[in-house]
Each structure stands twice: as C-alpha cells, then as structure tokens.
Amino acid sequence: MTGLHPLTHKPGGRRFDSGDLASLVLGLALVGGIAAMIDWKFVRSLDFVVVVDYWQPLLKGALTTLFVTAAALVVGLALGIVIAILLQLPLGPLRWLLLLYVELWRNTPLIVQLFWIHFGLPVVTGVSPTALESGLLALTLQSSAYLADIARAGIQAVPRGQWQAGRALGLPTASLWLEVVLPQALKIMIPPFANLALSFLNGSALLGLIQVGELMTVATKISDYTFKPIEIMTAVGALYLVLNLVVGRLAHWLELATRTPR
Amino acid sequence: MGFDGGIILRHLPELSAGLRLTLLLAVVALLVGTALGFFGCLGKLLGRGLLFWIASIYVTVMRGVPEMVVMFWIYYCGPLVLGAKLSSFAAAATAMSLFAGAHLAEIFRAGILAVPRGQSEAARALGLPIFSQWVEIVLPQALRMMIPPFIGLVTLVIKISGLASAIGVAELVYEASIVSGQTYRYFELFSAVGVLYFLIIFPLSLTAQRYERVLARRSR
C-alpha cells in the first residue's frame, strides 16, 4: 500500500508499482479524452504567423504591462507603508477613515474601481484623465490598500524586543522607525509583496477594457484587426504566463537573498 | 450635475437582475471549481508521472494566465472543442470554474500538507485503517485550515465575475455600464455597484480574518 502522508509519496529509485500504473492509466485516459474532444482540423487551420507579424506591438504591450504594474506597486508600497504607520498612531476618527479607505479598495472588484475612476470621477470633478492615468490610478490605489495591510502585518511581526531595545538605547522615534523597525518589516513583507505583484501583473490585463495600451489592449486590437482572436489570445496567454513565472522566480530569489542567516 | 440617488432606485430591476447573474456565476464557478480543485489536488499530491504533470500544468497555467485572457480564449475557442461558439455565460462560467479549480487545488493541497506529519504517523502507528487515517485524522484538521483561504477565494471569484461583462454576460458591471451609458450617470451607478459588492465581500473577508485568528490562537 502507498504511504499515508503525501510527503512520503515521492520516494525516488523504487520499482514501478500499482500506484504508478494507476497514475499512468488515468493520465493517458485524460490526455486521450481531451485529444478526442478537440477538433484537430480546426486546430490545423490556425495560423500562428500572425503572432510573429505583430511581435513588435506585442512586445511593446508586454513592456507597458510591466511598467504599469511596477509603477503601481512602487507608489502603492510607499503609500501603504505611510498608511500602516499612521494606523499605529492614536489618531481617533482619522484612523477610521484610513481603515475605511483600505477596506473599500480591498473589498470591491478592480473592474468597478477602474470604471468608477475612468467614467464616474470625470463627471464629478470635470477633469478627464487619459486611459493610462485612470489605469495607473486605479491600480495604485488598490495596491496601496493591499500593501497597507501587508505593511501593518509586517510591522506587527517585528519582535517587541526590537522596539524596547531601540527605546532603551534612546533612539529618536524617526530612527527607531527608519533604522530598526522598517528594515525588518520590509524583509518580512517580501513574500506577501511578491504574491501581490503576481496578482497585479495578471490583474493589469483588465486595463485592456479601457484601452490603456498594455498587452491586453494590444491583443484585442490585433485580434479585432486580423480576425485571428484564437492565435493572438493563445500567444498572449503564453506571454503572460512567462512573465508571471519569471517574476515569480525573481521574487523567490529575492526572498532567499534577503533571508537573515540564523 | 449633482448626485442623483433616484437613478439607482429607478434602475433597480436591471441592477438586481445583474446581481442575480453575478451570484449565479460565482456559485457555478465555486461548485465546479471545488470538484476540479479536488481532482487537481489529488493529482498533485498522489499522482505520479504523467498524471502529476497534467495536474501541475493545469494549476500553473490557470494561476499564471490572467482570468480575462482565459475568458476571451474560451469564448473564442468554443469551436475548437464543441464545433460551435459558446454562449457568453457558458464561456464565463467555464473560465471562472477553471480559475477557481486551480486555486482551490492549491488551497486543498496546502491544507493537507499543513497537518503536522506526526498526526498521520501516529494514526499509522496506532494501526488505523487507511480510510480512517484520512477521514478521521488528517482531513478534519486540514479542512479547518482551509476555511480562511477558501473564503478568500470566494471573494476573489465574486470580484472576478465582473470581468464577464467584457464578453457580454449581463451581470452587475454590465448592467451598470449599460444603464450609465444611457443616462450618463456613471458616478452614481458605479458608486452603487461598488457599495453593493462591498456589502457582499466585506462580511466574507471579516469572517475569514476572524477564523484565521481563531486558528492562530488554537495552534499556539
């Protein structure tokens, strides 16, 4: 019989047993089932040359996606840290407003926020932002709310002894925050920040709806123009996946590189 | 142009029809996604060779590609499998189910792996049959740990359902866009829709946070 705990399930260098056989049979059945369902004549009629023809706008779109995501995350990180610090202070009603801000952005869909900013606000304020400005604003505000929460958790995870030691040494409040608490909190924040970065990278595809000019905008434009949505969407999906995996790797590497040796 | 709250009341029928479709999408995605997640988790935990790779590729791809791309892709790729174009609702529901399934596979897997090894080893040492080892020892503990991330996923799925408006599913965001396009009351309608989403999602988030705290206290 196979072991109980899943961790014990992957011993190397053993004989092919009933579990391997069951896996192989099920796997082949799945692959066969999917292959039988696909209309191969249709697949052969697809023309992926169009992706190669449009590689330049696609690349530009991908770079814009990276830029928009990075900008939103960097500004959001700064805002988030400020909000998290403010939340630690006894501010009375202002604290409640900040909490409301954070929870509102965290608990509504990005698409609603985007449309609210792009279509709703101009009616009230009289200022019409460009699609890029609206997109950046929506992403930044949402990331600031998520990052405020991440920063709050990071600050709280800094051991109490660090605060007490800082105070006992007579450090002024500014250096207590900047030199003792925040550097440690930032390190703790890396894994949740990386997760957020990945979800924003994918979330930014939504900006295609208001034609911000990032990868999804480019993709819908090309597929409308060439009438080859399947080829374009497949390629763009693959491109997003690659971006996602690369950013994920980088984040993992950063996490390892900044780990405090024990 | 002042704030005209009346516009929301006047278009309540459209909005409530949209809300119904939003919730329907979320429920379908969560039900189908739970089944997919169950098999995905099994495949990644117990599958070997080919089966393990199929489950891993499914989870990685569906978590690594934006939901919008998946939605458009399935909408356009209907003929590839079915020989006919899918309806926009079916395409959105399929995309959201695949998305939820991939995330749930990871949530289920993380929950099971988070049960301390000693628990299953003790169960085995006591000579419990494999069925009770799983059903009476590992799963009850794992399920408890899965509750907060599961609720988190529910909120994510509700948020993502708004994307279905892009392929023409008449859910909440779609209805709000149509009504505000006709009346030019974007601010009122999207504020109202935002508040509506908040009223649904916020209590769920709070519950997840509460439960997470309970779990943290218990494990101490």
Residues A102-113 pLDDT 10s = 999 999 999 999
The confidence score (pLDDT) of residue B206 equals: 95
Taking residues B133-146, what's their average pLDDT?
A: 92
Chain A residues 77-136 with CB within 8 Å of chain B: 103-104, 106-113, 115-116, 119-121, 123-124
% pLDDT > 70, chain B: 97
Q: How far is B14 from chain A (nearest CA, A)?
A: 17
The token pair that represents A150 in the structure block: 């991440």
Nearest alpha-carbon partner for A142 in A178, A116, A179, A168: A116
| Model confidence band, residue B220 (pLDDT cutoffs 50, 70, 90) | low
Distance of alpha carbon B181 from alpha carbon A245, whole angstroms? 39
| Model confidence band, residue A124 (pLDDT cutoffs 50, 70, 90) | confident
Residue A10 scores a pLDDT above 60: no
For helices B12-46 and B139-160, the axis angle rounded to 10 degrees is 140
What is residue B115's DSSP assignment? Answer: S
Lowest average pLDDT, out of A7-21, B16-30, B67-81, B133-147, goes to: A7-21
- Find the closest chain A residue to B119 by CA distance: A5
pLDDT digits (tens, 9 = 90+) for B164-186: 999 999 999 999 999 998 888 89
Residue B81 scores a pLDDT above 80: no
The confidence score (pLDDT) of residue A147 equals: 97
| Model confidence band, residue A152 (pLDDT cutoffs 50, 70, 90) | very high
Please report which helix (H) or strand (E) contains residue A60, including its range. Answer: helix A55-88
CB contact under 8 A, A24 and B47: no
User: Which residue bears the tokens 């209590």?
Assistant: B203
Residue A214 scores a pLDDT above 80: yes
The confidence score (pLDDT) of residue B3 equals: 75
ipTM above 0.95 for this complex: no
SS3 sequence of B137-160: HHHHHHHHHHHHHHHHHHHHHHHH
| Model confidence band, residue A5 (pLDDT cutoffs 50, 70, 90) | low
The confidence score (pLDDT) of residue B199 equals: 96
Distance of alpha carbon B13 from alpha carbon B172, whole angstroms? 11
Q: Is A26 on the interface with B (CB under 8 A)?
A: yes
Residue B166 identity (one-letter amino acid): A
Distance of alpha carbon B151 from alpha carbon B131, whole angstroms? 27
Nearest to A107 among B121, B123, B202 (CB): B202
Nearest to B198 among A107, A111, A123 (CB): A107
Residue B99 scores a pLDDT above 60: yes
Positive or negative, the CA dihedral A189, A192, A198, A204 is negative
pLDDT digits (tens, 9 = 90+) for A203-212: 999 999 999 9
CB contact under 8 A, A115 and B173: yes
Residue A3 scores a pLDDT above 60: no
Residue A1 scores a pLDDT above 50: no
The confidence score (pLDDT) of residue B48 equals: 85
Q: How far is B157 from chain A (nearest CA, A)?
A: 10
The token pair that represents B150 in the structure block: 């599961």
Q: How far is B183 from chain A (nearest CA, A)?
A: 12
User: Which residue bears the tokens 């600050």?
Assistant: A155
Taking residues B68-95, what's their average pLDDT?
A: 86
Lowest average pLDDT, out of B2-11, B99-108, B150-159, B209-218, goes to: B2-11
Residue B110 scores a pLDDT above 60: yes
How many Å from the N-terminal Cα to the C-terminal Cα in chain B? 56
The confidence score (pLDDT) of residue A14 equals: 66
Taking residues B201-208, what's their average pLDDT?
A: 96
Residue A15 scores a pLDDT above 80: no
CB contact under 8 A, A109 and B197: yes
Q: For residues A8 and A179, which has the higher predicted lDDT (pLDDT)?
A: A179
- One DSSP character per residue, A144-163 reads HHHHHHHHHHHHHHS-HHHH
Q: How far is B130 from chain A (nearest CA, A)?
A: 7
Residue B123 scores a pLDDT above 70: yes
The confidence score (pLDDT) of residue B94 equals: 94
CB contact under 8 A, A4 and B193: no
| Predicted structure pTM score | 0.90
How many interchain CB pairs under 8 A, A with B?
A: 180
Q: Is A26 exposed, middle or buried (0-12, 13-18, 19+ CB in 10 A)?
A: middle
Mean pLDDT, chain A, rounded, equals: 89
- Find the closest chain B residue to A244 by CA distance: B64
Taking residues B72-82, what's their average pLDDT?
A: 81
Distance of alpha carbon B24 from alpha carbon B28, whole angstroms? 6
Nearest to B159 among A9, A103, A109 (CB): A109
Distance of alpha carbon B94 from alpha carbon B135, whole angstroms? 31
